[in-house]
């Protein structure tokens, strides 16, 4: 079983739709969960960062973590064409020392159509 699984899509929605993006993971040691947005030929841009189970909201974005099910989600409300990008989930476990490497999902390609 892969450590982090993410449906690569592609996902195509009309403008204004609610988008749901999801990742599952197998490593119960993961404690920190992130969502990054990646536009074509650009680096990952941090969108959301959560530590605990539950919901975290920032504007049109809501990140949800369910550690018991090893499942995280990102919801985008009122989606805009500018939201068209690849969305990457990433997570990490505290392994001691002075680092925490990120383990990424493969990314979901989202297109929001005007």
Partner 1 sequence: EPEVTQTPSHQVTQMGQEVILRCVPISNHLYFYWYRQILGQKVEFLVSFYNNEISEKSEIFDDQFSVERPDGSNFTLKIRSTKLEDSAMYFCASSNGVFNQPQHFGDGTRLSIL
52 binds partner 1 (CB under 8 A): no
> Residue 88: which of 71, 102, 105, 74 has the closest Cα?
105
**Contact status: 106 vs partner 1 (CB under 8 A):** yes
**With binding defined as CB under 8 A, does residue 114 bind partner 1?**
no
Write down the residue that tokens 């809501």 correspond to.
Answer: 62
Cα atoms found within 13 Å of the Cα of residue 34, Cβ hemisphere only: 18
What three-state secondary structure class fits 61? strand
Q: Which of 22, 103, 109, 111 is in the footprint of partner 1 by CB under 8 A? A: 103
Candidates 9-17, 19-27, 45-53, 60-68; binding stretch for partner 1 (CB under 8 A): 45-53
In 3-state terms, what secondary structure has residue 66? strand
Q: Which residues are near partner 1 by CB under 8 A?
A: 32, 34, 36, 41-46, 49, 51, 88, 90, 94-95, 97-107
């Amino acid at each position: 079983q892969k450590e982090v699984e993410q449906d690569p899509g592609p996902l195509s929605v009309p403008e204004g739709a609610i988008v749901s993006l999801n990742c599952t993971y197998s490593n119960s040691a993961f404690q920190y969960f992130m969502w990054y947005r990646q536009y074509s030929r650009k680096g990952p841009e941090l969108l959301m960062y959560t530590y605990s189970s539950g919901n975290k909201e920032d504007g049109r974005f809501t990140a949800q973590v369910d550690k018991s099910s090893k499942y995280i989600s990102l919801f985008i409300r009122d989606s805009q064409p500018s939201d068209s990008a690849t969305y990457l989930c990433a997570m990490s476990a505290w392994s001691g020392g002075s680092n925490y490497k990120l383990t990424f999902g493969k990314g979901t390609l989202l297109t929001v159509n005007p």
